[in-house]
Homo-oligomer: A and B are copies of this chain.
């Protein structure tokens, strides 16, 4: 029993426990947790500060190229550096298929982007926009077995949208192969219809983006996705839920015992549609889909974080600069539907939740850990390697200065976006030291590791991917009519 590194005297907080103790690390892995552990080659005195499992940001867009050819402002270097400064030690990013793409080729591409730049660990969700027979029968089953055990599908956006038929194909495959399907749930036609009416009325300002993506678009699509998933008994996870109306569809399913999981993001806790109503196109900085709603929605989302409706808090970091490379790529003064969608938030995700959630009494420490780390690790097949402070886990740890006061501003952040929607907000609590596999990535605000030192994490079958084993009525009927296996 000897240690490369010992974290001394931490208030070690997990999803369940809070323990004052030491953590012994060897070869990047936690090998002992105890009182007065023997010395390590190196020691860090946590000095009674909280030690959390390193954050997992399960929804980030990094160095991703959009269907219109737009490149994200953050590459795997700036993205992971920013994440690390905010306490996140693993990101899941998207490898996005465009129509016609081979999934394997897409992955080769994204691996190339990440490998030499990432400073923390990472994995990929696939985005399936073109579920051809090759993709579905050949590529995807193999890729799932190779550790890409989750994928996202879109119910909106012309270039990405699957129809209900294709979604059923995806759900059936996910169920069969043990993968988890993430869903961007907004009704495409409803958004198109409103957009057409708005543009026709000359309502082109960024704020009308919020009008064009109503809650009903979200709740309808959420409800529909759940019905499709239920038919084939496939679990699903609804990403970036923004409203009580969306939550209600999810809760209804959860109460019926369906395996429906849900994620929300800081923008739905801290922004409202009014943030899109600013002079000089600046509202564009807060344009994302679904859009922020209102204060009542924020309160509803907080309740959902506390009552278990949500399992995951991600950033949905979608970094676009407020210029012609990003938000304004389609013109200086584009109508709302030509503004690049997304807000940045990778670095502030955990500090915002700690300050406004834990310190304001909305969540306890354990729920904070669950939402930012443990549950994403479980749901996406990385637990207990990630998301856990336990023997055998990767030594991904954040020592947290719970007293530090920070007034947010982009100039103190490490992404490449040029602004933060949370500028000016004063919060309390910030990571002091961040470790990834035992390496000190960030200490006292300083980056201490090499570019490219992050590793790819192939993922196991997500805990969330287990079907319920409960058949839809007509599947049972088929069985009664002699048909053993419908899919």
| Residues of A that sit less than 8 Å from B by CB | 1, 14-21, 24, 31-38, 163-165, 168-169, 187-190, 192-194, 197-198, 201, 203, 205, 207-208, 210-216, 219-220, 223-224, 227-228, 230-231, 257, 273, 277, 293-294, 303, 307-308, 374, 384, 388, 390-392, 472-475, 477-478, 481, 483, 485-487
Write out the residue numbers on chain B whose beta carbons fall within 8 Å of the beta carbon of A205. 481
- Once the chains are docked, how many angstroms separate the CA of A89 from the CA of B227? 41
Write out the residue numbers on chain B whose beta carbons fall within 8 Å of the beta carbon of A187. 164, 224, 227
Q: Would A17 and B224 count as touching, CB distance under 8 A?
A: no
Q: Would A214 and B472 count as touching, CB distance under 8 A?
A: yes
Query: What is the distance, in angstroms, from A277's C-beta to the closest C-beta of chain B?
Result: 7
Q: Would A219 and B211 count as touching, CB distance under 8 A?
A: no
> Nearest chain-B residue to A308 (Cβ)?
B308
Q: Which of B213, B388, B391 contacts A34 (CB 8 A)?
A: B391
Q: Which of B198, B207, B231, B307 contacts A216 (CB 8 A)?
A: B231
Whether A216 contacts B230 in the complex (CB less than 8 A), given A32-B34, A33-B32, comes out as: yes
Write out the residue numbers on chain B whose beta carbons fall within 8 Å of the beta carbon of A303. 257
Q: Would B190 and A231 count as touching, CB distance under 8 A?
A: yes
Number of copies: 4
Write out the residue numbers on chain B whose beta carbons fall within 8 Å of the beta carbon of A164. 187-190, 193
Q: Which of B17, B273, B474 contacts A390 (CB 8 A)?
A: B17
Q: Which of B19, B216, B374, B486 contacts A392 (CB 8 A)?
A: B19
Q: Would B211 and A477 count as touching, CB distance under 8 A?
A: yes
- Once the chains are docked, how many angstroms separate the CA of A194 from the CA of B388? 42
A sample of 8 inter-chain contacts (CB < 8 A) reads A17-B384, A19-B390, A20-B392, A24-B34, A198-B478, A214-B473, A214-B475, A294-B473
Write out the residue numbers on chain B whose beta carbons fall within 8 Å of the beta carbon of A163. 189
Most chain B CB atoms below 10 A, which of A14, A20, A215, A478 = A478
Whether A33 contacts B36 in the complex (CB less than 8 A), given A21-B391, A210-B474, A481-B203, comes out as: no
In addition to A31-B36, A215-B474, 7 A-B residue pairs with Cβ atoms within 8 Å of each other are A19-B391, A33-B33, A33-B34, A35-B391, A164-B193, A203-B481, A214-B473
Q: Would A214 and B231 count as touching, CB distance under 8 A?
A: yes
Whether A307 contacts B19 in the complex (CB less than 8 A), given A37-B1, A163-B189, A215-B473, comes out as: no
Q: Which of B15, B21, B472, B486 contacts A201 (CB 8 A)?
A: B486
> Nearest chain-B residue to A189 (Cβ)?
B164
Q: Which of B16, B192, B294 contacts A16 (CB 8 A)?
A: B16
Q: Would A208 and B35 count as touching, CB distance under 8 A?
A: no
Q: Would B1 and A38 count as touching, CB distance under 8 A?
A: yes
> Nearest chain-B residue to A211 (Cβ)?
B478
- Once the chains are docked, how many angstroms separate the CA of A303 from the CA of B257? 9
Query: What is the distance, in angstroms, from A437's C-beta to the closest C-beta of chain B?
Result: 16
Whether A388 contacts B17 in the complex (CB less than 8 A), given A165-B192, A231-B214, comes out as: yes
- Once the chains are docked, how many angstroms separate the CA of A374 from the CA of B16? 9
Query: What is the distance, in angstroms, from A309's C-beta to the closest C-beta of chain B?
Result: 10
Write out the residue numbers on chain B whose beta carbons fall within 8 Å of the beta carbon of A24. 34
> Nearest chain-B residue to A31 (Cβ)?
B35
Query: What is the distance, in angstroms, from A397's C-beta to the closest C-beta of chain B?
Result: 15
